[in-house]
Structure 1
Amino acid sequence: MTPSKRLAPALVLFLVPVAAWAAWLGWDQHRDVHPDGSVSGPYEAWQVIGLLLTLLVAVGRAASRRHVTAAVLGTTAGLTAAACYDWSDDSSGLFVIGAGLVAVASLVATAAVATVIAAVTGHGRESHPRATGE
């Protein structure tokens, strides 16, 4: 397999979370001020759920097609890059901690999801003719 064919799934799985972040979260930058003075946001629960479901479909599809490593690393890198870009205007610098948490959580979650899907679909390992005796 050529290097470009190996990198293509990872590149696609890097771009999907970036686009999904922009579609679900990137447009909403307003914090909600409640009557008691407390502040929440900028994201609503439905936006985050939409992002997670979009990523679940992408990771599931890739894992079911034997692209487990690309699903995990590409999705994690894309989601982390999107968070860094979106939150980088935070003057306190705390966005780095948030982006780090996104990186760790997405790595763990995508690894778990991709592993389960690959195992369920029977694509956990690529079969080789020599290994199977074919």
Structure 2
Amino acid sequence: MSRFTIFIYISVLLSLAGCHNQPGQKNSIPKDTTTVQQKGPAKFEFHDEIHNFGTLKAGEVVSFSFRFENAGGKPLTISKIDNECGCLEILYPKKPVQPGEKSTIEVIFNSDGEWGNQFKTIEIETHSGLKKKIAVTAHVLNEQFEKLINTK
């Protein structure tokens, strides 16, 4: 073999060794990004966190459904809901909300006995200890309270 042939042979081997590419060790972005986004613990992602019922007459009963999604990678199970007022009734899913699944928490507000500007918070807690607050507001017109305040 001539020196020139040996030189070509070694050059080709070296260039091929430099192009060594292991399958599965690509530096590209994964095609399925949903699996990357859903890793980690359960996570609330609410469409709205506050709802304003507007002006109500005392005694009106109104409701609003807060829509949310479990944006985490584990099932989300609501274990406890606290609210500051007996005027609220809260309906929530008793079964676990799976990753990527959507659900609602319905808040029913009974304005009987209320007066003026109202701001009511609801704290939601999951089995994993995750806490989230949502709220409802309203301005309640109550003729009985108005008469008491405006007596001359």
Task: Please give the TM-score of this superposition, normalised by the length of structure 1.
Answer: 0.35
Computing the radius of gyration from Cα coordinates, the structure with the larger value is: 2
> Which structure: greater helix fraction?
1
Task: Please give the TM-score of this superposition, normalised by the length of structure 2.
Answer: 0.32
